[in-house]
Amino acid sequence: MSIALMTFDIFGTVIDWRRGLGLSDGDFERVVDRQGELEKQAFRPYAEIVAQSLIDVVGFPAAEAARVGSEVGRWPLYPDSAAALRRLRAIAPCAATTNSDRAHRPQVEEQLGFALDGWICAEEVRAYKPDPRIWREAARRLAVPMNRDWWHVSAYADYDLEAARALGLTCVFVKRPHSRPGPADLVVEDLAALAEIAR
């Protein structure tokens, strides 16, 4: 088993955004779908997309929605995330490829207790996954070719794994609550299980 790089979706894979938003299952799924629609329009920062989706779907007041959007990196981690990522970083560099903003990086890393090896986000690339420019920027910045030695880890086939597979990466599907499954090279229950397999 050869792993040169591991990249991770953050929201929904590392962070429990459903619990962070505190919405019902139905409202949460509608918010996610609305975000996807907004991400296909003219580019704007993720904090604004989160806010707009909350206004549109559940009628949040604008000021409250803006506050939530600015603090998404403080939504709770899944219980296994920090320890598993720490173990995985001993095997290969671990970086985020994320539909988020630069400002969310320190929020997430404060929760993890350590810095990731890269944070390639939509705000920098000016595009949202599944746009392949996110992964191309990661390849450029982290100096790793797109091949099977690069593992991409996500709970979302629609946002992540379909695009990563088309680029030739090894795809790891994580069975999180509200995950959206699809074809993957490896399926794991959580990041702790991935750390066991990869060690």
| Per-residue pLDDT tens digits for 111-124 | 999 999 999 999 99
Whether the CA torsion 32, 172, 118, 140 is positive or negative: it is: negative
pLDDT of amino acid 24 = 93
Q: How far is CA 155 from the centre of its chain?
A: 8
Range(s) within the chain of domains with CATH label 3.40.50.1000: 5-16+75-198
- Band (pLDDT 50/70/90 cuts) for residue 159 is confident
Strand positions, DSSP E, 73-156: 94-98, 119-121, 150-154
Q: Are 68 and 21 in contact (CB under 8 A)?
A: yes
Q: Report domain 5-16+75-198's class.
A: alpha beta
- What is the value of pTM for the model shown? 0.95
Q: What is the CA radius of gyration of the chain?
A: 16
Cis peptide before 145 (omega within 30 of 0): no
- Band (pLDDT 50/70/90 cuts) for residue 199 is confident
Q: What does 3-24 look like in DSSP terms, one character per residue?
A: -SEEEE--BTTTB-HHHHHT--
